[in-house]
């Protein structure tokens, strides 16, 4: 029912979400000088906060200054000033809802033109066929690097709380570092972090324990997890079920379900699995199975754009509806739903046969809309994907120059 969408949700930490609609994380790649949030991100989140969601989850914030998903990535580590993050938190909460920071390490999913490190559980590179050279060649992490990375997550979570955020979401999906450790296709280790699912999940579980110990009991801790990787022999729904069970005793408030990676970009609606094509709520079939056994409340993200679909997802037992692209096109969509209206705009579809290039163009289209919203302009969802991709590439070139300069200065200071 519509009323259920707008009912509050109490979490284990004691935090209460105003309603069941969340703005899911999208990678803004809009950091200013110093890899910090600035007025552009503040404006974007003030606009979303006014749109009526119960929860805003930021685009992924990097825990390691030498490992960014893109040159415009925001970094919150021990050296970052807190005031820009405090302003970001205030912007996100300006509409009365909650704001959580998604925290992440990209692992091997780092561009080959980026400085810094390219790490993975094993030296297994991203396979994108003729586009594989877009990513750097990974090296297997040492035990010391794994433990240091666990600590980095805890530091970032503690500082997010100090800045005024209401929670963090540990990103263990979409082929990033923790998803890489969970995947038997990428994790070929033979030590305590490889082999069995319990070992492959060890780093994620250690991070959740460290984060929970570093923040107050009332601070929310969530995990974003793939319902499946959509790759034969990869992390699947039964693995997800078991990992959710492992997370349950650790003080986790919510598990967000998504799916896919750069190698199989199901999260953008372009997977290698027929069940998630040409319809909304890409991962609902898998989520229904997981809801039946999950000891934790679940959030479902992926392709939800209409009120009717959101209600159907809630009726399946999912606790929170996550939306990304829909809110980049119509930032006040929850407010429209309250009055019985729907969005009158849709993002122009990308019909290119090259799925890696199509995924990149789709993400560029979304960022184009976010930048317009941040400036106070109306979204233009009809923008051609090729134009959006070219504009994004030009912006990222400038961001890469700034990041290189900043990282070299940070290294000298350290």
Query: What's the CA dihedral at 143, 169, 39, 328 to 10 degrees?
Result: 120
| CA distance linking residue 300 with residue 379, whole number of Å | 25
Residue 300 forms beta bridges with which residues? 257, 321
Among candidate residues 304, 315, 299, the one with its CA nearest the CA of residue 222: 299
What digits encode the pLDDT tens for the residues 189-242? 999 999 999 999 999 999 999 999 999 999 999 999 987 656 667 788 899 999
pTM score, whole prediction: 0.93
Residue 409 pLDDT greater than 60, yes or no: yes
pLDDT of residue 283: 72
CB atoms under 10 Å from CB of 198, counted, come to 12
What digits encode the pLDDT tens for the residues 65-99? 999 999 999 999 999 999 999 999 999 999 999 99
3-state secondary structure of 171: strand
Among candidate residues 323, 375, 366, 337, the one with its CA nearest the CA of residue 55: 323
Phi-psi region of 220 (alpha: psi -120 to 50; beta: other; left: phi over 0): beta
The residue-averaged pLDDT of 92-108 equals 97
Parallel, antiparallel or unpaired: strands 21-23 and 320-323: parallel
Of 2-11, 183-192, 261-270, give the range with the top mean pLDDT. 183-192
What digits encode the pLDDT tens for the residues 138-153? 999 999 999 999 999 9
| CA distance linking residue 291 with residue 297, whole number of Å | 8
What digits encode the pLDDT tens for the residues 249-276? 999 999 999 876 565 554 444 443 444 3
384 close to 348: Cβ distance less than 8 angstroms? yes
pLDDT of residue 237: 87
DSSP H helices, 6-56, are 39-49
Cβ-proximal residues to 19 (8 Å cutoff; 6+ apart), any chain: 5, 6, 7, 8, 9, 52, 53, 54, 97, 334
Q: Provide the mean pLDDT of the chain.
A: 92
Residue 29 pLDDT greater than 50, yes or no: yes
Among candidate residues 266, 250, 324, the one with its CA nearest the CA of residue 55: 324
Domains present along the chain, CATH in parentheses = 2-345 (3.20.20.70)
The residue-averaged pLDDT of 274-301 equals 75
CB atoms under 10 Å from CB of 284, counted, come to 23
Residue 382 pLDDT greater than 90, yes or no: yes
More confident residue, 281 or 323: 323
Number of helices followed by number of strands (H, E) in the chain: 14, 13
Phi-psi region of 407 (alpha: psi -120 to 50; beta: other; left: phi over 0): alpha
């Amino acid at each position: 029912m519509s009323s259920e969408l707008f009912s509050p949700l109490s979490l284990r930490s004691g935090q209460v979400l105003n309603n069941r609609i969340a703005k899911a994380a999208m990678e803004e790649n809009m950091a200013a000088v110093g890899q910090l949030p600035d007025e552009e991100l503040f404006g974007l989140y003030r606009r979303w906060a006014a749109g009526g969601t119960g929860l805003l989850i930021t685009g992924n914030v990097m825990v390691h200054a030498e490992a960014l998903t893109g040159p415009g990535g925001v970094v919150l580590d021990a050296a970052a000033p807190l005031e820009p993050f405090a302003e970001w938190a205030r912007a996100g909460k300006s509409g009365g809802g909650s704001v959580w920071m998604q925290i992440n390490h990209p692992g091997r999913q780092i561009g080959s033109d980026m400085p810094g490190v390219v790490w993975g559980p094993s030296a297994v590179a991203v396979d994108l066929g003729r586009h594989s050279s877009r990513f750097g060649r990974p090296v297997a992490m040492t035990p010391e690097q794994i433990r240091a990375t666990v600590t980095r997550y805890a530091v970032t979570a503690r500082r997010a709380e100090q800045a005024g955020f209401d929670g963090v979401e540990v990103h263990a999906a979409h082929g990033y570092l923790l998803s890489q450790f969970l995947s038997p296709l990428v994790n070929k280790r033979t030590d305590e972090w490889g082999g069995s699912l319990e070992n492959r999940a060890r780093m994620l579980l250690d991070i959740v324990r460290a984060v929970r110990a570093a923040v107050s009991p009332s601070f929310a801790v969530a995990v974003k997890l793939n319902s499946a990787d959509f790759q034969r022999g990869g992390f699947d729904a039964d693995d997800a079920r078991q990992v959710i069970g492992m997370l349950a005793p650790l003080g986790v408030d919510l598990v967000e379900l998504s799916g896919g990676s750069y190698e199989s970009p199901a999260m953008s609606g372009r997977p290698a699995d027929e069940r998630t094509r040409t319809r909304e709520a890409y991962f609902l079939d898998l989520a229904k199975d997981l809801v039946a056994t999950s000891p934790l409340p679940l959030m479902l993200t992926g392709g939800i754009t209409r009120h009717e679909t959101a209600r159907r997802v809630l009726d399946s037992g999912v606790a929170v509806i996550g939306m990304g692209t829909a809110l980049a096109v119509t930032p006040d969509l929850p407010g429209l739903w309250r009055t019985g209206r729907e969005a009158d705009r849709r993002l122009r579809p990308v019909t290119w046969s090259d799925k890696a290039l199509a995924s990149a163009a789709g993400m560029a289209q979304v960022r184009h809309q976010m930048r317009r919203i941040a400036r106070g302009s109306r979204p233009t969802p009809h923008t051609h994907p090729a134009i959006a991709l070219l504009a994004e590439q030009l912006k990222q070139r400038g961001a890469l120059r700034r990041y290189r300069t900043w990282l070299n200065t940070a290294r000298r200071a350290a």
